[in-house]
Amino acid sequence: MRAMPSCPKCSSNYVYEDGNIYICPECAQEWAKEDHLEKMDSLRASDVNGSAINDGDTVVVVKDLKIKGSSSIIKVGTKIKNVRIVDGDHNIDCKVDGVGAIQLKSEFLRKVP
């Protein structure tokens, strides 16, 4: 089962498919599936060693990361499962145990084989 994309207009996660298009019920944005597939092909993330990171991969943090606006830290060696590649400066979207949903830069991660 493949993951549904977020809405490109409002970033809603409640997108659904209808034939060959995706529809966002919150802002009524519609876009073709081909547009999403082309965008997914263009999104690339590489880890600290230059290995490609893909959706669903498991990665390990290679440096202590301070969380902006919080006193929490993500420690070296923290394993993060099921990452998602997104567009932007912080190109990894994930959930970290004890922290919650967060976006990280791929340059501070190492892909687990």
In this prediction, residue 4 carries a pLDDT of 76
Q: How confident is the model at residue 10 (pLDDT cuts 50, 70, 90)?
A: confident
In this prediction, residue 110 carries a pLDDT of 95
The average confidence (pLDDT) of the chain is: 86
In Å, what is the CA distance from 88 to each residue of 25, 34, 43, 85?
Answer: 24, 21, 10, 10
Q: Give the span between the Cα atoms of 17 and 30, in whole angstroms.
A: 10
Domain boundaries for CATH 2.30.30.40 within the chain:
45-111
Q: Give the span between the Cα atoms of 106 and 108, in whole angstroms.
A: 5
CATH of 45-111, one of 2.30.30.40, 3.30.460.10, 2.40.128.110, 1.10.10.10: 2.30.30.40
Q: In the chain, pLDDT over 90 holds for what percent of residues?
A: 42
For 22-77, what is each residue's pLDDT tens digit? 999 999 989 888 765 555 555 778 899 989 998 889 999 999 999 988 888 999 99
